[in-house]
Amino acid sequence: MTNRTNRRRFLGQSAAVTASVGYWAGTSLASDTKPESALNALAAGCIGVGGKGGSDTSHIGNQGVRIAGLCDVDGDTLTKKGREFPDAAKFDDFREMLDKLGDKIDIVTCSTPDHVHAAACVRAMNMGKHIYCQKPLTWSIREARLMRETAEKTGVITQMGNQGTSEDGLREAVEVIRSGAIGDVSEVHIFSNRPVWPQGGGRPDKVDPVPESLNWDAWIGPAPMRPFVSGAYHSFNWRGWVDFGTGALGDMACHTTNMPVMALKLWDPVAVTAVKNPGIVEGEQFPASSALMFEFPEREGLPACKFYWYDGGNLPSDDIISQLPKSFQKRIAKQREGGPKMSGAVVVGSKGLLFSPDDYGAKYYLLPEDKYEDYQVPEQTLPRIPFKASGDERQKWEFVSTIKGEYEPGTMANFGYAGRLTETILVGNLAMRAGEGQRIEWNAKDLTSPNVESVNQFVQREYRSGWELG
């Protein structure tokens, strides 16, 4: 399908969001549809049900899945979500939930801090459970490899929560780049408004009593034990701590790099360099800002490519910014004056640029505008999700419908894809462990650096007793 598109229009708009109206594989969910027997309905156990986990749980329930178990280390969060699903059993340790509900659930959702993802999901996959796991897929590179290998071995349906994958606009942008519309791509520039949590400090010098409602041991999970400090880690600021999170890169790159990675097969970098790197602070926290450069070789007929990442207010050079739409350049100017930080993705080709100002790749421009004024989008090669709702809910529909065998294309952000995406991204965090300007060569097959061996210890971790992967 092709359609004439004015270059001055905002390309790649996803379909209008109507969260309360949808259709199942092109068929209206009319009132005369027979309700699914409770005996045959899918059931889920949800790990982490506050914040993003709260919406993940609700969205899975909205797809006709019975929420049989709720698990959260915070008793207050658990009680609150329990009001929405009063029949669900409640747990503050995912191991207990999986032990007790193992034969009663088909699906496990995991919306915990990054460091718990693999411990929960590998265990659940080995029990034959289909998995929806938030991004980034894992805390470590080795865990990402294990997650995709385990998914392949067990044959379960998987999906990572980078909901931009479900957007029509992202899929169209991938088709546009693959069609050669902007020519051979030599550079990709991604800049992020993250972090929006504290980074760049050391460990707190105090200890606070653990709240009665919090299972601190379960929150720490596989990571090394440390004292509880109010507001330092739970419930949001964990992202900046190297023991628990993956920093600005891990938080947003699975979203913002998703479209160009998919379009250009940006797997397995051969090197990464921290161009700007204040370093890991006291071995505890990621720096407040950084800039990285990944190098990718020729791959499957595509030319060698460099991918640049910027966070904490860092931006691409003026040579790149000056080619973006004037309205966006004004927003960048305000950022430089102390205004809100911007995010964006710029894919640089030999014929033009593709620019997405959207964290999820759902909207895009082709630049320069006059060159693409009469551009026609290429023939569709990627499936479109027929369910009309928010991108987040569409991704849940894709996941549940695939499990039911009612959506043949399957999940696009499955662990086979998401594992490779996460591996690629987390190599960047190794560069944070080295000095500024240090080029780290990378052997993706063996998951090692041959020239900076000191970073290899951070490819995986030792797990606290009782929390090993299994």
Q: What is the pLDDT of residues 125-141, one digit of tens each?
A: 999 999 999 999 999 99
> What one-character-per-residue DSSP string does 305-337 give?
EEEEEEETT----HHHHTTS-HHHHHHHHHHHT
Q: Of 119-128, 194-203, 393-402, where does mean pLDDT reach its minimum?
A: 194-203
Q: Of 15-29, 199-213, 369-383, where does mean pLDDT reach its minimum?
A: 15-29
Question: 470 pLDDT band (50/70/90 cuts)?
Answer: confident
Coil, helix or strand at residue 207: coil
Peptide bond into 136 cis (omega under 30): yes
User: Cα torsion for 169, 175, 181, 185, to the nearest 10°?
Assistant: 100
Question: 72 pLDDT band (50/70/90 cuts)?
Answer: very high
Average pLDDT taken over every residue of the chain: 92
> What one-character-per-residue DSSP string does 415-442 give?
HHHHHHHHHHHHHHHHHHHS-TT-EEE-
Distances (CA, A) of 74 to 93, 168, 197, 216: 10, 36, 20, 9
As a whole number of angstroms, the distance between CA 104 and CA 98 comes to 9
Q: 7 in the Ramachandran plot: left (φ > 0), alpha (ψ -120 to 50) or beta? A: alpha
Determine the number of helices (DSSP H) and then strands (DSSP E) in the chain.
Answer: 13, 16
Report, as an integer, the average pLDDT of 368-385: 97
Question: 20 pLDDT band (50/70/90 cuts)?
Answer: very low
Question: 10 pLDDT band (50/70/90 cuts)?
Answer: very low
130, β-bridge pairs: 107
Two structure tokens written together for 414: 């499955």
As a whole number of angstroms, the distance between CA 263 and CA 72 comes to 37
Two structure tokens written together for 76: 């207050």
Report, as an integer, the average pLDDT of 258-280: 97
Residue 397 · residue 165 · CB < 8 Å: no
Start-to-end Cα distance in the chain: 46
Q: Please say if the pLDDT value at position 295 is more than 90.
A: yes
Question: 40 pLDDT band (50/70/90 cuts)?
Answer: low
Radius of gyration in angstroms for the set of CA atoms belonging to the chain, rounded to a whole number: 22
Higher pLDDT residue, 11 or 27? 11
Q: What is the pTM of this model?
A: 0.91
429-453: per-residue pLDDT in tens? 999 999 899 999 999 999 999 999 9
Residue 172 · residue 377 · CB < 8 Å: yes
Please calculate the CA angle 93-94-100 and round it to the nearest 5 degrees: 100
Report, as an integer, the average pLDDT of 266-293: 96
| Block residue for tokens 């207010």 | 313
Please calculate the CA angle 317-323-325 and round it to the nearest 5 degrees: 120
Would you say domain 23-164 falls under CATH 3.40.50.720?
yes
User: What are the two backbone dihedrals, phi and then psi, of residue 363, each rounded to the nearest 5 degrees?
Assistant: -130, 150
CA-nearest of 17, 11, 41, 181 to 105 is 41
Residue 70 · residue 78 · CB < 8 Å: yes
Same fold, 23-164 and 167-201+227-383+413-458: no
- CATH number for 167-201+227-383+413-458 (one of 3.40.50.720, 3.30.360.10, 2.40.50.140, 3.90.550.10): it is 3.30.360.10
Higher pLDDT residue, 19 or 53? 53
As a whole number of angstroms, the distance between CA 72 and CA 53 comes to 9
As a whole number of angstroms, the distance between CA 248 and CA 196 comes to 8
Q: Where are the domains of the chain?
A: 23-164, 167-201+227-383+413-458
pLDDT of residue 435: 86
User: What are the two backbone dihedrals, phi and then psi, of residue 67, each rounded to the nearest 5 degrees?
Assistant: -85, 105
CA-nearest of 285, 282, 208, 292 to 239 is 285
296, β-bridge pairs: 305
pLDDT of residue 23: 25
As a whole number of angstroms, the distance between CA 128 and CA 151 comes to 9
> What one-character-per-residue DSSP string does 10-43 give?
-B-PPPPP-TT--EETTEE--TTSPPPPTTTS-E
As a whole number of angstroms, the distance between CA 385 and CA 397 comes to 8
Report, as an integer, the average pLDDT of 225-229: 98
